[in-house]
Structure 1
Amino acid sequence: MTDLDKQAIEYCFSNNNLSCIKEIKSQVECIVLYIFISLASVLTVFLNLLVIISISHFKQLHTPTNLLILSLAVADLLVGLIVIPLMGIRYIETCWYFGETFCSLFPFILYTVVSASLGNLVFISIDRYIAVKVPLQYSTRVTTNKAVFCIILNWLCSSIYSVIMLYDAIFSTETLITCYGDCIVTVKFEYVLTDLIVSLVAPCSVIISLYGQIFCVAKYQARLINSVTNVSKSEKKRGKCVMEGSVRRKSESKAALTLGIIVAIHLLCWIPYYILTLTENTAIPPTILYCLIWVLYVNSCVNPLIYALFYPWFRKSVIYILTFRIFQPASSRVNIFTNHHS
Structure 2
Amino acid sequence: MDNTDNRQNITVQYCFPDNNSSCRKEVRTGPGNVFLFVFLSCVSVFTVFLNLLVIISISHFKQLHTPTNLLILSLAVVDLLVGLIVMPVNVMRLIDSCWYLRILGCCILSVINAVLVSASLCNLVFIAVDRYIAVTDPLLYSTRITVCKMSMMIILGWSFCLLFAIMYFYFNDNLLPSQISPRCYGECVVFIQFSWLIVDLVVFFLTPCSVILVLYSIIFNVARRQARTVRAVKNGASKKHGAKLSSASETKAAKTLSIVVFVYLACWIPFYVTSLSVESVTSLSVVWTVLSWLLSINSSVNPLIYAIFYPWFRKSAKYIIFCRIFESSSSRFNLFPGCS
Q: Where does residue 202 of structure 1 map in the other structure?
A: 207
For the aligned residue pairs, the C-alpha RMSD in angstroms reads: 2.3
Per-residue CA deviation, residues 178-204 of structure 1 (Å, 9 max, x unaligned), is 211111121211111000000100100
**Amino acid aligned to 2:178:** T
Q: Runs of 5+ in structure 2 lacking a partner?
A: 1-9
**Amino acid aligned to 1:88:** V
> Does residue 325 of the first structure (1) align with residue 324 of the second (2)?
yes
Q: Where does residue 296 of structure 2 map in the other structure?
A: 297
User: Does structure 2 retain, via aligned residues, the 8 Å contact 1:33–1:92?
Assistant: no
Higher alpha-carbon deviation: 55-64 or 240-249? 240-249
- Return the alpha-carbon distance in structure 1 between the equivalents of residues 88 and 229 of structure 2: 50
1:106-121 map, 5 Å: 106-121=109-124
Aligned pair count reads 325
1:177-216 map, 5 Å: 177-216=182-221
Per-residue CA deviation, residues 139-174 of structure 1 (Å, 9 max, x unaligned), is 001000011001100100000000010012113735
How much does 1:113 deviate? Answer: 0.5
Q: Where does residue 260 of structure 2 map in the other structure?
A: 262
Q: Where does residue 75 of structure 1 map in the other structure?
A: 78
Decide whether aligned partners of structure 1 residues 276 and 8 sit closer, same or farther in structure 2, where only a CA change above 3 A counts. closer
Q: Where does residue 92 of structure 1 map in the other structure?
A: 95
Per-residue CA deviation, residues 17-67 of structure 1 (Å, 9 max, x unaligned), is 221111242332332122022111101111000000000000000000000
- Return the alpha-carbon distance in structure 2 between the equivalents of residues 220 and 242 of structure 1: 16
- Return the alpha-carbon distance in structure 1 between the equivalents of residues 208 and 108 of structure 2: 25
1:222-237 map, 5 Å: 222-225=227-230, 228=232
**Amino acid aligned to 1:219:** R
Correspondence for 2:144 among 132, 141, 145: 141
Decide whether aligned partners of structure 1 residues 198 and 338 sit closer, same or farther in structure 2, where only a CA change above 3 A counts. same
How much does 1:340 deviate? Answer: 4.0
Q: Where does residue 39 of structure 2 map in the other structure?
A: 36
- Return the alpha-carbon distance in structure 2 between the equivalents of residues 282 and 39 of structure 1: 28
> Does residue 58 of the first structure (1) align with residue 64 of the second (2)?
no
Q: Where does residue 176 of structure 2 map in the other structure?
A: 171
**Amino acid aligned to 2:188:** C
**Amino acid aligned to 2:317:** V
User: Does structure 1 retain, via aligned residues, the 8 Å contact 2:11–2:27?
Assistant: no
How much does 1:10 deviate? Answer: 0.9
- Return the alpha-carbon distance in structure 2 between the equivalents of residues 292 and 94 of structure 1: 18
Higher alpha-carbon deviation: 126-135 or 330-339? 330-339
Q: Where does residue 30 of structure 2 map in the other structure?
A: 27
- Return the alpha-carbon distance in structure 1 between the equivalents of residues 88 and 196 of structure 2: 27
Q: Where does residue 249 of structure 1 map in the other structure?
A: 247
- Return the alpha-carbon distance in structure 2 between the equivalents of residues 102 and 113 of structure 1: 16
Q: Where does residue 153 of structure 1 map in the other structure?
A: 156
- Return the alpha-carbon distance in structure 2 between the equivalents of residues 250 and 259 of structure 1: 14
**Amino acid aligned to 2:127:** I
- Return the alpha-carbon distance in structure 2 between the equivalents of residues 242 and 337 of structure 1: 18
1:116-131 map, 5 Å: 116-131=119-134
How much does 1:283 deviate? Answer: 10
Identical aligned pairs, as a percentage? 49
**Amino acid aligned to 2:277:** T
Higher alpha-carbon deviation: 122-131 or 331-340? 331-340
How much does 1:333 deviate? Answer: 0.7
**Amino acid aligned to 2:252:** K
Higher alpha-carbon deviation: 198-207 or 266-275? 266-275
User: Does structure 2 retain, via aligned residues, the 8 Å contact 1:112–1:158?
Assistant: yes
User: Does structure 1 retain, via aligned residues, the 8 Å contact 2:280–2:287?
Assistant: no
- Return the alpha-carbon distance in structure 2 between the equivalents of residues 138 and 149 of structure 1: 17
How much does 1:225 deviate? Answer: 2.2
Decide whether aligned partners of structure 1 residues 29 and 242 sit closer, same or farther in structure 2, where only a CA change above 3 A counts. closer
**Amino acid aligned to 1:11:** Y
